[in-house]
Structures are given as C-alpha cells and as structure tokens.
Amino acid sequence: MSQLYENPKYYEIAFSFRDIPAEVDVFEECFKHFSRIPVKSVLELGCGNSPHMEALIKRGYQYNGLDLSKAMLEYSRQKAMQINAKVNLIHGNMVDFSLKEPVDFVFVALGSLYVKSTPELITHFNSVSRTLKRGGLYLLDWCIQFNLASGGGETWEIKRDEIHVKTTVSCRTINPVEQTVEETIIIEVNDNGKCQTIIGKDIKRDIYPQEFLCFISAFKDFEFVGWWNNWNLKNN
Ligand SMILES: C[S@@+](CC[C@H](N)C(=O)[O-])C[C@H]1O[C@@H](n2cnc3c(N)ncnc32)[C@H](O)[C@@H]1O
C-alpha cells in the first residue's frame, strides 16, 4: 500500500483543487440522461478520503465507499460522523469485490482504477457487473489514457490553514507490451513548520481509448454510452 494513503489529511489538501459540487452536478446530469434506473445508492471504488461523500449525502444519495487503505477509510468514517451521516465504508480490493446489496451507480474518481494487468481488468469489470443493478451507470473519471506520453510531471502547491503541501505527479513506463506504468506522487508537507516528504508509488495498467471500446463491446453486461472532457457533457 502506497505511503501516501497512510496520510489522508495531507492527501486531501494535495487534491483539493477540484470543484466537487460541480462534479456531483455532472453525476446527476449523467443519471438523468443515461441511467435506466432511478439512482438512490452510489458506490465509489478507491474512495480514499471520499471527497464526493458529503455532497452526495446532502443530495439524498446513500453512499458506499470501498478502499484498500484502512487509514483512508477511517478518515472518511470520521468525516461521515461529523455530519451525522450513515455510510457504508468497506475495506476491500477494487480488483475483486462484492457487496451485500447491489447499488444504482458506481464511480471511480481521479484516475483511481488500480488494476495491474488485463486479467485484473476483466475481474474488476466482472465485480462491477455483480455490484451494479441492471440499467445502472458506471462512471470512470480520468481512467482512460487519451494522452499517451509518459514521464513529464506536474507540480502544484496548496495551502490550507497553516499546512502547505507541494505535490508532484509523474509517470514512467514499466512494460510497454503489458502497458504497465509506475505512477509516483510526491507530497512535500510543511505542517506548522514540521516538514516531511511523502512518496506514493503505484503500478497501473494503462487503458487506451480504442482498446477500451473493444473491451466493453466484448462484455455482454456493459454498453458504452460516451466520454467527455473536463466534467462537461458538451465537451467530447
Ligand atoms: C488517488 S486516491 C483517490 C481518492 C478519492 N477517490 C479521490 O477522488 O480523491 C486512490 C485511492 O485508491 C485506493 N486504492 C489503491 N489501490 C486500490 C485497490 N486495489 N482497491 C481499492 N482501493 C485502492 C487508495 O488507497 C486511495 O485511497
């Protein structure tokens, strides 16, 4: 398990640049246009600190989150307690999982589709198929590689209260045939003068657009409904 996910508070600051209510607006637009069933319950895979949880609960949805990191789940549990919300937080692996009750909507945010190989990808989709009610939507945010370049790296800085977090994300190819990449996230923290560097490394299998379409069309349980850019359904 990546060291980064043992530090939910700093992770949360590092990735707090998103407009979460606007992203939840897009979820609801998708429910309206593409879900064939009414949406009451949602499941976030790789939920981590569950950034969308509060907005979803406030809009009346029942929230389920699944994650491999106990520290992240505990952090989400505390956040739910603070707003007196009843949520279902599950310790599990998104590659192979099942829930007691199927849900109406499943999503993965911020490219958090942690599968390392094609067999794992197949097992993952079979798990989602078991978990999602027929006619429900599965939304993947930033999980398909439209830009194939690896390397580079992106850096940004965010300050919250007296905590300053500098984040650098980079990616390098491990095996081009197996399409595996190593994603490195470095966060440099200055928490009220106490400095530390936290490094998170994860291996992922890249998924390219055309192979994704082939993959989905081979799955009898799934139908492709579309892809869009920058959380805007008019932008594809
Ligand atoms: C980049 S964070 C995303 C957290 C949150 N969903 C968000 O949008 O900010 C990725 C999360 O995926 C979790 N994770 C990594 N591999 C996993 C796996 N195989 N199964 C379940 N969760 C996993 C990590 O523990 C971490 O909390």
Q: Is 15 in the pocket of ligand 1 (CB under 6 A)?
A: yes
Expressed in angstroms and rounded, the spacing between residue 48 Cα and the centre of ligand 1 is: 5
Q: Residue 185: pLDDT above 70? A: yes
| Cβ of 174 less than 6 Å from ligand 1 | no
Mean per-residue pLDDT, 22-29: 98
- Whether residue 112 contacts residue 46, with contact meaning beta carbons closer than 8 Å, is answered with yes
Closest atom, ligand 1, to C-alpha of 69? 25
pLDDT category at 152 given cuts 50, 70, 90 is: low
How close is the Cα of 210 to the center of ligand 1, in Å? Answer: 25
Domains and CATH numbers, the chain: 3-144+208-218 (3.40.50.150), 151-205 (2.20.25.110)
Tokens 């400095």 label which residue?
A: 195
- pLDDT per residue over 203-228, tens digit each? 999 999 999 999 999 988 999 999 99
Copy the structure tokens of residue 24: 């939840």
Give the Cα separation of 96 and 116 in Å (integer).
13
State the number of CA atoms in the 13 A half-sphere of 50 facing the CB.
32
Residue 236's SS3 state is coil
The pLDDT, as a whole number, for residue 149 is 59
Given a contact cutoff of 8 angstroms between Cβ atoms, the answer to whether 97 and 127 are in contact is yes
Minimum CA distance residue for ligand 1 atom 13: 46
pLDDT (tens digit, 9 = 90+) per residue, 88-111? 999 999 999 999 999 999 999 999
Is 48 touching ligand 1 by the criterion CB < 6 Å? yes
Cβ 5 under 6 angstroms from ligand 1: yes
Residue nearest to atom 6 of ligand 1 (CA): 47
Asked whether the CA dihedral 45, 51, 54, 56 is positive or negative, the reply is negative
Q: 111 alpha carbon to ligand 1 midpoint, in Å?
A: 9
Evaluate: CB of 27 within 6 angstroms of ligand 1: no
Ligand 1 neighbour 136 (Cβ under 6 A): no
Q: Find the DSSP H helices in the chain.
A: 8-14, 20-34, 53-58, 70-82, 118-131, 209-218
